[in-house]
Amino acid sequence: MRGHYVAASPGGGKSHLSSAIGLGLLEKGWRVLFTRTSDLVQRLQVARRELALEAAINRLDRFDLVILDDLAYVAKDQAETSVLFELISARYERRSLLITANQPFGEWGKVFPDPAMTLAAVDRLVHHSTIFELNVESYRRRMALERKQQGPGRPASSATVRNVGTVTPRDKQPAA
């Protein structure tokens, strides 16, 4: 496994799919890190300020797979995207990376402010990758619409108790 890229609109199941992949690999003995991209980028920025970025990226090598969830929510400044690019470059052809994002590669110019960095990052990611583009409706939106159609309160199927007998004082006594 080298790389995976999962793209879908919000609520399309990207995080769910990537965490399921990670869990499946954990069960097979892989070491997996699942993290929001913005959280990891912030930690890498701190390491850069402390002149320890290379060591921080090298510590991530203990993970067979690093899952970066929600790439699009990384702020678009040069400092943040450069540490992200360095992580992508460091893992390229050495360790596996799974990235989720709300947009296809063609819109990554909105993530990386430098066009050359955008091309280089995409080039490295697609080289040995499996790309999943999920063209599905938002799960959360669909559930909200279903709840709205059912009206206020809980659906009858969830609120109704069935096949429950009467409890007597004798039933509450501990077994002897």
Would 163 be classed as within a structural domain? no
Residue 160 covered by a domain: no
152 lies in some domain: no
Alpha-carbon gap, residue 39 to 74, rounded angstroms: 9
The answer, yes or no, to whether residue 172 has pLDDT greater than 60, is no
In a domain, 85, yes or no: yes
Question: Can you tell me the mean pLDDT for 156-171?
Answer: 52
Residue 113 lies in a domain: yes
Instruction: Read off the CATH number of the domain in which 99 is found.
Output: 3.40.50.300
Is the distance from CB of 53 to CB of 92 less than 8 angstroms? no
How confident is residue 104, by pLDDT bands cut at 50, 70 and 90? confident
Range of the domain at 25: 3-135
pLDDT in tens, 128-144: 777 777 676 666 666 66
Q: What is the reported pLDDT for 11?
A: 64
Are the C-beta atoms of residues 64 and 37 closer than 8 Å to each other? no
pLDDT in tens, 50-62: 999 999 999 999 9
Residue 82 included in any domain: yes
Q: Closest Cα partner for 72 from 33, 38, 119, 96? A: 38
Q: How far apart are CA 168 and CA 15, in angstroms?
A: 47
Please indicate, yes or no, if residue 145 is contained in any of the structural domains: no
**Structure confidence at residue 110 (pLDDT):** 74
pLDDT at 170: 52
Number of domains in the chain: 1
Summarised one tens digit per residue, pLDDT across range 21-58 is 999 999 999 999 999 998 999 999 999 999 999 999 99
pLDDT confidence of 123, banded at 50, 70, 90? confident
